[in-house]
Amino acid sequence: MKHLAGILVLSAFLCTHSAFSGSKIGGRLAGQLHSHGSQDSYAVWVTFTDKGPDVLRKTSNPSSLLSERSLQRRRNVLPADALVDEADLPVERFYVNALLATGVSIRQHSRWFNAASVVASKDQISTIALLPFVKEVELVGKYGRRRDEVPVDGAPLPAAPLTKTGGVYSLDYGPSVNQLLQIHVTAVHDLGNHAEGVIVGVFDNGFRLLSHEVFASMNIIATHDFVDHKTSVVPDNPASDFGDHGVNTLSTIGGYKPGQLIGPAFGASFILARTENDSSETPVEEDNWLAAIEWADSLGVQVTSTSLGYGNDPQYPYPPPYTSWTWEDMNGRTTLISRAAAMAVRKGIVVLNSAGNGGYNATHNTLNAPSDADSVVAVGAVSLGGDRTSFSSVGPSTSIPPHIKPDVMALGTGVYIASAFDPHGYSPYGQGTSFACPLAAGVAALLVKAKPTASPMAIVNAMKVTASNASAPNNLIGWGIVNAKAALDQLKSADTGSSPATPSSFALGINWPNPFPTPANPETVIPFVVRESGRVKITVYDMLGRTVSVLVDDVLPPGYYTPRFSGVGLASGAYVYRLEAGGITEARRMLLVR
């Protein structure tokens, strides 16, 4: 009754104040109101002046606002007596009820920005602007639908047997081994670290096939659909592209099916959020992602992976009256999503986002928000050979001073992923920074597992300074390809003051493509990892045991190597390539087809 009485008082107030409160209308909204008729509706943010009465009392009991896991994570970056502040308080309910009394529909609330996202008519906006506790009314950000390249499901690759006598792998990675070898995840798994107990949030377009075998052992602790406002993250729309991307990216970071696909952080606990509506008729709106990160924060999330980008994309033009940000706005401070992501980092969360698939532009960046934020890890894409893919977005940000972007790289073409349509199917066609991001996020989760008290920036720094291009970072590949084991050693050395140890042993990957040649790949790449300087020999044999080629026979320093083998002049059939190094002998089979 108290709130009802307050609303009646407000109604009386509004009846006697008919003047339009233009000073509260944001610039972008003002332009839209001026150019469109009163019949139009608008998605707007209504920002409030305060959090209501008794703010100090409301923040005096942190456990009433956040989970213990969230408070525990915040202790890594905040003073013990300041784990929560006014930004963590919910929006004042009386203010929300007053908005509802105007007849608007509410989409989302934001604790951090003390605002509500509502759909309102021009007349309703005029009424809302008169409310004494409203600070500003502005358009919800509209973004082009910039989901990274959608993979094409294909027939599963045969799971190559792991023929090993040196005990190189502790797990049977199947065809997914290469994407982990390139970023040295297998060496961390061999230590028994699979990110157990770390809470990872994956935000995507939904997860239509959580019954896939690759998720059978996944520990999913919470789900929410911020598009349709329900618990299940399986989209209601049965169209095939609704919720497919989330299946692909989730399998990349945390899938577990020995002999097929193992993600870098398969032992983690996962929070899943549907933040994108796949309908292409309207632009993506920022409030879903913001609501998801606040929700995940309250549950104690430690690492987030988002393979969606938000920005202006000419491939997805907007219907009138929508406008959007441009590359000039990619400064980490303009878009609400980037500001929210930076706030999440300040609250102790490691935030990773795909850099985008805008490719190279000689005159300006091609970044997505929130990857433009300095504290957010923007992940670009490389090929199996370690080269930057042509579609991977580039920096720098437009902040002053500008920041190098992307931050790090991982495999973004030919990534082995779970099918979104067949519960036992897989595809070797994952392409885009969409898949580089969850691989790098999996590394971040492994580092958090190894040192749960590390701040987000300590985790990020360890990933950067040990990456392949750390000595000369640039706006094409940033600090380079992630190295999980070296980053782990870097974190440990920060505690002891010693130099990072160089891990021992060697590892042989699966050649790609296989079979070969293909129109796009006349040769096949045979990847291997050297973790301790020593003599390495890679030999190719035919099925009669005759030597066809000696690709490598040299003393090599630690690193990731990708020699190429050409089948020119050879007959179709099966061939074997063998690694000999450090007392280890490991062999795999490849197929040449004319």
Spatial separation of the C-alpha atoms in residues 278 and 420, rounded to whole Å: 15
98 vs 56, residue with greater confidence:
98
What is the structure's pLDDT at 66? 94
Main-chain phi, psi angles of 81, to 5 degrees? -95, 10
Closest by Cα among 231, 229, 235, 265 to 250: 265
- Range name among 31-40, 150-159, 508-517, 559-568 with the lowest pLDDT average: 150-159
What is the structure's pLDDT at 59? 79
Spatial separation of the C-alpha atoms in residues 372 and 339, rounded to whole Å: 10
- Whether the per-residue pLDDT at 405 is higher than 80: the answer is yes
- Whether the per-residue pLDDT at 101 is higher than 60: the answer is yes
Determine the angle formed by the axes of helices 456-465 and 484-496, rounding to 10 degrees.
120
Structure tokens that stand for 136 in this block: 């500003």
558 vs 421, residue with greater confidence:
421
What is the structure's pLDDT at 260? 96
Contact in structure between 232 and 242 (CB atoms under 8 Å): no
Q: What DSSP string describes 148-177?
A: --PPPP-PPPP----EESS---SS--GGGH
Main-chain phi, psi angles of 24, to 5 degrees? -95, -5
Helix, strand, or coil (residue 479)? coil
The pLDDT tens digits for 504-526 are: 468 888 888 888 887 767 899 89
Q: Rg (Cα) of the chain, in Å, rounded?
A: 26
Tell me which amino acid residue 352 is. Answer: L
Tell me which amino acid residue 405 is. Answer: K
Q: How much of the chain is helix, strand and coil, in % rounded to 5? A: 25, 25, 45
Spatial separation of the C-alpha atoms in residues 29 and 208, rounded to whole Å: 36
Q: What is the mean pLDDT of residues 450-475?
A: 94
Spatial separation of the C-alpha atoms in residues 96 and 100, rounded to whole Å: 6
Spatial separation of the C-alpha atoms in residues 88 and 91, rounded to whole Å: 9
Contact in structure between 538 and 552 (CB atoms under 8 Å): yes
Q: What is the DSSP secondary structure assignment for residue 521, as one 8-state letter? A: -
Query: pTM higher than 0.85, yes or no?
Result: yes
Residues 6+ apart with CB under 8 A from 1: none
400 vs 173, residue with greater confidence:
173
Rounded to a whole number, what is the distance in angstroms from the first to the last CA of the chain?
81
- Whether the per-residue pLDDT at 53 is higher than 50: the answer is yes
Confidence of residue 37 (pLDDT cuts 50, 70, 90): low
Residue with tokens 């997914």: 176
List beta partners, residue 163. Answer: 587
Spatial separation of the C-alpha atoms in residues 174 and 180, rounded to whole Å: 11
Closest by Cα among 439, 461, 450, 427 to 354: 439
The percent of residues in the chain predicted with pLDDT above 70, rounded, is: 85
197 vs 588, residue with greater confidence:
197
- Whether the per-residue pLDDT at 311 is higher than 90: the answer is no
Q: What is the mean pLDDT of residues 78-100?
A: 94
CA dihedral 239, 240, 243, 244 (to 10 degrees): -170
Kindly list the strands in the beta sheet with 559-561, ordered across the sheet, starting from the edge strand earlier in the chain.
506-508, 528-530, 559-561
Helix, strand, or coil (residue 369)? strand
Name the residue ranges covered by the structural domains of the chain. Answer: 2-146, 174-469+477-496, 506-592
- Whether the per-residue pLDDT at 22 is higher than 80: the answer is no
Helix, strand, or coil (residue 199)? strand
Residue with tokens 């602007």: 129
Q: What DSSP string describes 226-263?
A: TTTTBS--S-S---TTSSHHHHHHHHHHH-EETTTEE-
Domain 174-469+477-496, CATH class in plain words? alpha beta
Confidence of residue 247 (pLDDT cuts 50, 70, 90): very high
Alpha helices (runs of H) in 326-473, residue ranges in sequence order: 336-346, 433-450, 456-465
Asked: is 506-592 a CATH 2.60.40.2550 domain? The reply is: yes
